[in-house]
Amino acid sequence: MEKFFTIAGPVKPDKHYYVPLSTRLSEPELYELIEQEKYFILHAPRQTGKTSTVLNFARELNNQGTYTALYVNIESAQALRDNIEKALPVIIQEFHTRAKGLLPPEDPIFTIFESLKTEQVPAGSLLATFLNNWATQSPKPIVLFIDEIDSLIGDTLLSVLRQLRSGYDGRPHAFPQSVCLIGVRDVRDYRIWSEAGKQVILGGSAFNIKAESLRLNDFTKAEVQDLYLQHTNATGQQFSDDAFNYAFEITRGQPWLVNALAYQACFRDVTNRTTSITKEVIERAKETLIARRDTHLDVLIDRLQEPRIKNIIDAIVTGIDTSCNFPSDDIQYALDLGLIARRNNNLVIANPIYQEVLPRELTYSTQLTLPQQQAWYINTDGSLNIHKMLTEFTQFYRENSPIWLERFAYKEAGPHLLIMAFLQRIINGGGRINREYALGRDRVDLLILWKTQRIVIELKIWHSATKTLLNGLEQTARYMDTSHATEGHLVIFDKHEKSWDEKIYNRQEQIGNKIITIWGM
């Protein structure tokens, strides 16, 4: 069977191309934590390879023979929410199920599981009792990897964390020698509502025995190239240097995106192995992923409704000044989810694909209900009449902005999102829009690519003549220069209490050899 790029489930080295799992984490560090009997956290955004890495490491530990290692995924208990009496038996059952696939039949975990079913152990101590009995009878120290820990809810999560903490002093002879909790977030970021206690409990206080927090990083550029070259070595299909570079540029090494791009390019778009994968093929694959709204991207979008995330993304989309004081925990939470990144001292969307997905998704329903049609703005030679388009948008904004902006959950970014929705509806199917925005840039750069046209549209919020107009003209001219634009436009939204006649205008200015049309609204 031909290997392929996997986009669902753990990596299977015999079936999938993969980045060597030993390079994803420092194995010496893992061994040191285990030898020192530490309890620690492994966290990373979804679909970055946590499960694959840990499963293979657990198998490696068992093969070496020093420890009994078990990986268990406890997500199945999520549906039971705060019901400890039902959730804990489900978690113990998961231990038994996983053990059948990873441990020899003579391991004492199986007899302990059967005997525990006949005992009347309270749910509040069921996990601790189970682990104590297992560790006491096990001929080897136990190393436990518990995945999807942060999928648990409320008192069930509190109970699991506290039972792990309660047996900590008994390790390694009466409790697992080392426990690794695996999730999207670090345990210190858990804000757990206890229904029983009617209060919020912080994860750090519920599990204060944590020694380390490890984060699984995205692929490096070299790892992306190595992954793609595995396909070349297996099939002979080549990737151009531009394809390697562009794939890394638009994914920033996010593992699911890296694999999804290559799968779409090599197994859907270009199946003839004598045809090379070029930058243009990767670009088409990117557009397909965005349009298809795969599960990975849908899960990402769900996070945009959380208030902690909404405030940060709202500011990033508008590019407002970094003087906004977001709680450091909220920023770290967004970083842990993989939605944003720190780059050049700015908070930015984690990668260009997410940067493209977020405004499209935030304006998806708006695009569907806007009355605009692409044909209205196409010249007889097939070129895009951007002047007519922006003239029409100005009138649309004047007449409809109070109603349309109210529909957006992202209030600060509302004007930016509305014009992006307007443009996206027109551009879809005939060209594309590249977006650049980041916290503190005080602007949003749009580059419309339509046949041979390269049109820059700079979006700004009015502050003052110097800060907004002069800076905006200079910024637009620079972006036109770097993007080889054929024309440039500066759109300024004025949120002050003024009449529309005062706000709305358009005129042209020349900066160096660049002619820029200014649109006030």
Three-state DSSP at 105 gives coil
> Judging by DSSP bridges, how do beta strands 178-183 and 142-147 pair with one another?
parallel
pLDDT of 183 strictly over 60: yes
pLDDT in tens, 198-211: 676 676 666 888 88
- pLDDT 10s digits, 450-459: 999 999 999 9
Q: What is the CA radius of gyration of the chain?
A: 27
What strands lie across the sheet with 39-43, from one edge to the other?
68-73, 142-147, 178-183, 39-43, 210-215
Q: How confident is the model at residue 376 (pLDDT cuts 50, 70, 90)?
A: very high
Question: Per residue in 334-374, pLDDT tens?
Answer: 998 899 999 888 889 999 999 998 888 888 888 888 888 89
DSSP string over 232-268: HHHH---B-HHHHHHHHHHHTT-HHHHHHHHHHIIII
Share of the chain above pLDDT 70, in %: 97
Distance, in Å, from the CA atom of 70 to the CA atom of 144, rounded to the nearest integer, reads 5
Judged on CB neighbours under 10 Å (0-12, 13-18, 19+), 191 is exposed
For the residues 320-345, what does the mean pLDDT come to? 83
In the predicted model, what is the mean pLDDT of the chain? Answer: 92
Give the H/E segment covering residue 110. Answer: helix 109-118
Predicted confidence at residue 186, as pLDDT, reads 86
What would the pLDDT profile of 97-148 be if each residue is shown by its tens digit?
999 999 999 999 999 999 998 888 999 999 999 999 999 999 999 999 999 9
At 326, is the pLDDT very low, low, confident or very high (cuts 50, 70, 90)? confident
The pLDDT of residue 166 is 95
Instruction: In whole angstroms, give the CA distance from residue 109 to residue 112.
Output: 5
Domain 21-215 sits in CATH at: 3.40.50.300
Q: What SS3 state is found at 343?
A: strand
What is the predicted pLDDT for the residue at 305? 86
In the chain, pLDDT over 90 holds for what percent of residues? 70
pLDDT higher at 360 or 483: 483
CB of 279 within 8 A of CB of 246?
yes
Find tokens 């005997």 and name the residue: 115
Question: Which residues touch 390 (CB under 8 Å, ≥6 apart)?
Answer: 457, 489, 491, 506, 517, 519
Query: Quick one: tokens of 310?
Result: 């909404």
Q: Is the pLDDT of residue 425 over 80?
A: yes
Predicted pLDDT at 208: 84
- In this prediction, residue 429 carries a pLDDT of 81
- Asked if the model's pLDDT at residue 31 lies above 90, the reply is yes
Q: How far apart are CA 511 and CA 488, in angstroms?
A: 11
Q: What pLDDT is recorded for position 324?
A: 61
Per-residue pLDDT at 476 exceeds 90: yes
> What's the whole-number mean pLDDT along residues 478-487?
96
Question: Can you give the pLDDT at residue 194?
Answer: 62
Please state, in angstroms and rounded to a whole number, the distance separating the CA atoms of residues 1 and 497: 67
Residues with Cβ within 8 Å of residue 13, at least 6 apart in sequence: 56
Residue type, 475: Q
Q: Is the pLDDT of residue 466 over 90?
A: no
CA distance 387 to 389: 5
With a cut of 90, say whether residue 465 has pLDDT above it: no
Average pLDDT over residues 462-473: 90
Position 322 pLDDT exceeds 60: no
C-alpha closest to that of 422 among 514, 504, 486, 360:
360
pLDDT at 175: 98
Q: How confident is the model at residue 54 (pLDDT cuts 50, 70, 90)?
A: very high
CA distance 406 to 461: 18
The answer as to CATH 3.40.1800 being correct for domain 221-292 is: no
How confident is the model over 222-232, as pLDDT tens digits? 999 999 999 99
The domain spans of the chain are 21-215, 221-292, 304-520
Mean pLDDT of the 288-304 span: 82
Q: Are 447 and 433 in contact (CB under 8 A)?
A: yes
